[in-house]
């Protein structure tokens, strides 16, 4: 269980990273694929739009499929697939679609962690665990600045995004293999009107 939570924490670092990294790429994306600042602002908005739109479906999926499948599948398809699409982008539209997918991939990570905290740990520990997750996750904002700029300088932006796609897939696979879904609370029926 601890390894699973560590991987969910790493996934949240990725989520925070993907939320903030676009600004570092603005110059190189403008040169290589003609992405203007307005295009990148729109692409960034796509991340937030899909992330927000997924919260109700994610809540349903956490209850019915569990945090392991929900977080792993969405991070694999959205995070890994979106980053791979971004690496292959030839125009601003591709970047916007990629950011929309990445937002979907990031959408379950924090809620899956909170779901586990609420079901597996005493209520008195929830605030501490939630704050720890948020604190560690903020490292993603730091990595989205200078380290990303350095990686782009050393390897190129396409290779950097391809690497992020691989990291997303590996983290998603790790979540699937190590996260244990909490038991249903006593008295909770397996089925519901939503089934």
DSSP secondary structure string, 139-153? HHHHHTTHHHHHHHH
Residue 195 has pLDDT above 90, yes or no: no
Q: Round to whole Å and give the CA distance between 171 and 140.
A: 14
Alpha-carbon distances of 178 from 18, 28, 69, rounded to whole Å: 23, 38, 11
Q: pLDDT tier at 186 (50, 70, 90 boundaries)?
A: low
Do 157 and 29 meet the contact criterion of CB atoms below 8 Å apart? yes
Tokens 């293999």 label which residue? Answer: 177
Q: pLDDT tier at 193 (50, 70, 90 boundaries)?
A: very low
Q: pLDDT tier at 156 (50, 70, 90 boundaries)?
A: very high
Q: Round to whole Å and give the CA distance between 12 and 30.
A: 28
Alpha-carbon distances of 2 from 96, 137, 179, rounded to whole Å: 35, 16, 8
What does the mean pLDDT of the chain come to? 92
pLDDT of residue 145: 85
pLDDT of residue 194: 43
Q: What does pTM read for this prediction?
A: 0.91
- The string of pLDDT tens digits covering residues 103-142 is 999 999 999 999 999 999 999 999 999 999 999 988 888 8
- The string of pLDDT tens digits covering residues 21-65 is 998 999 999 999 999 999 999 999 999 999 999 999 999 999 999
For residue 94, which of 33, 164, 27, 14 has the smallest C-alpha distance? 33
pLDDT of residue 72: 98
- The string of pLDDT tens digits covering residues 67-91 is 999 999 999 999 999 999 999 999 9
Structure tokens given for 186: 């006593």
Q: Domains along the chain?
A: 2-178 (1.20.1250.20)
Across the range 164-168, mean pLDDT stands at: 97
């Amino acid at each position: 269980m601890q390894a699973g939570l560590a991987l969910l924490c790493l996934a949240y670092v990725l989520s925070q990273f993907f939320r903030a990294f676009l600004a570092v790429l603005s110059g190189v994306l403008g040169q290589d694929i003609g992405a203007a600042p307005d295009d990148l602002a729109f692409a960034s908005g796509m991340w937030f739009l899909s992330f927000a739109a997924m919260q109700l479906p994610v809540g349903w999926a956490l209850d019915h499929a569990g945090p392991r499948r929900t977080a792993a599948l969405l991070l694999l398809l959205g995070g890994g697939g979106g980053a791979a699409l971004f690496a292959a982008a030839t125009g601003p539209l591709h970047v916007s679609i990629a950011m929309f997918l990445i937002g979907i991939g990031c959408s379950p990570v924090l809620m899956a962690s909170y779901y586990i905290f609420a079901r597996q740990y005493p209520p008195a520990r929830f605030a501490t665990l939630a704050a720890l997750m948020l604190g560690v996750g903020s490292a993603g904002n730091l990595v989205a600045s200078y380290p990303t700029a350095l990686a782009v300088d050393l390897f190129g932006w396409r290779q950097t995004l391809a690497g992020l796609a691989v990291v997303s897939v590996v983290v998603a696979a790790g979540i699937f293999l190590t996260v244990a879904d909490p038991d249903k609370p006593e008295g909770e029926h397996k089925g519901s009107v939503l089934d």
